[in-house]
Amino acid sequence: MACPVQFLCRGLRTVGLVLLYYVFSIGITFYNKWLMKGFHYPLFMTLVHLTIIFCLSALTRQAVQWWTGKPRVTLRWKEYLRKVAPTAIATALDIGLSNWSFLFITISLYTMTKSSAVLFILFFSLVFKLEEPNPFLILVVLLISCGLFMFTFESTQFNLEGFILVLLASFIGGIRWTLTQVLTQKAELGLQNPIDAMYHLQPLMFLGLFPLFLFNEGLSLSTSEKLFRVTELS
């Protein structure tokens, strides 16, 4: 009787986590779109988010270490740069480009275009041999993408620049989630815990996105009333 009970508990936990993911994912999408209406610096906003996540994950790691008395995993620089950097850069670009697109497109067009991410995830999971070629899996992914596309098709206001940004983010997102799975499933790295993974990812994500921020938003933000209340260049 223990096995069915354990199976049921795991199933309920999985469903609960998926529901929480959807709630927070939908919530952050609407929040970012709302924020972009008055604050036109999506890359700067993303950098702030990354900084906050790093601080919170570091504090959580310290609290858990103090509570359990067991040291948390810390990667050596060689492993860190070789194995974490690709995932971090892909994640930073995915999030940054997605937030950037909110300056140009509606949430419906964003959702429609972002639904293509599952196709790229499937493609890269096959490339990295995380999944075996399965016609049923491919069919399910295609049906999900088509369903999301049809759901939002009639309500979209097309913008080419925003569309390209989201499509590029979806492509990079396929790389991101595939590399994330590879990273967290490597037992020798010890990053199975999501808090440890976030702690190691955020600094490189920040550094990977910072040059793009400087190029696109650095000057305008430094002379903006939103930051330093400067109205004109002297």
Return the structure tokens found at 152. 């939002």
User: Model confidence at 226, in pLDDT bands (50, 70, 90)?
Assistant: low
Alpha helices in the chain (DSSP H): 2-36, 42-68, 77-79, 85-101, 107-114, 117-127, 135-152, 160-185, 194-213, 219-222
pLDDT tens for 29-60 read: 888 888 888 888 888 989 999 999 999 999 99
Rounded to an integer, the average pLDDT of 93-100 is 90
pLDDT score of 220:
80
Q: Is 231 among the domain residues?
A: yes
Report the pLDDT averaged over residues 58-71: 90
Report, as an integer, the average pLDDT of 213-224: 81
Out of 155-164, 193-202, 213-222, the most confident range is: 193-202
**Phi, psi (5° rounding) for residue 122?**
-60, -45
Q: Cβ(164)–Cβ(50) under 8 Å?
A: no
Kindly tell me if the per-residue pLDDT of 122 is higher than 90: no
pLDDT of residue 1: 46
In a domain, 34, yes or no: no
pLDDT, tens digit, for every residue of 125-181?
A: 888 888 777 788 778 777 877 776 676 565 556 777 888 899 899 999 999 999 988
Q: Mean pLDDT over residues 75-95, rounded?
A: 90
- The answer to whether the CB of 183 falls within 8 A of the CB of 189 is yes
**Alpha-carbon distance values, 126 to 133, 137, 158, 171, 175 (Å):** 7, 11, 31, 14, 11
In a domain? residue 71: no
Tell me whether residue 111 is in a domain. yes
Average pLDDT, the chain: 83
In a domain, 36, yes or no: no
Q: Is residue 14 part of a domain?
A: no
Average confidence (pLDDT) over 198-225: 87
CA distance 194 to 198: 6
d(C-alpha 41, C-alpha 227), whole Å: 11
Q: pLDDT confidence of 104, banded at 50, 70, 90? A: confident
Contacts 24+ apart (CB under 8 A), 116-121: 116/145, 116/167, 116/170, 117/169, 117/170, 117/173, 117/174, 117/177, 118/144, 118/145, 119/145, 119/174, 120/170, 120/171, 120/173, 120/174, 120/175, 121/173, 121/174, 121/177, 121/178
Using the structure block, give the residue that is written with the tokens 């939103």: 226
Please check whether residue 37 lies inside any domain of the structure: no
More confident: 58 or 115: 58
Number of compact structural domains in the chain: 1
pLDDT at 55: 95
Could you give the CA distance from residue 9 to residue 86 in angstroms, rounded to a whole number?
35
Query: How many other C-beta atoms can be found within 10 angstroms of the C-beta atom of residue 50?
Result: 26
Q: Cα(75)–Cα(116) distance, rounded to whole angstroms?
A: 34
Which of 151-160, 199-208, 222-231 has the largest mean confidence?
199-208
* Residue 190 domain-assigned (yes or no): yes
Percent of the chain with pLDDT over 90: 22
Which pLDDT score, from 0 to 100, does residue 219 have? 78
pTM score: 0.79
Which of 33-42, 90-99, 100-109 has the highest average model confidence (pLDDT)?
90-99
Q: What integer is the mean pLDDT of 117-129? A: 84
CB 223 within 8 A of CB 233: yes
For 187, the domain range is: 45-61+77-234
Q: Give the rounded distance of the alpha carbon of 72 from its chain centre.
A: 24
* pLDDT, mean of residues 105-117: 81
Question: How many Cα neighbours within 13 Å face the side chain of 85?
Answer: 9
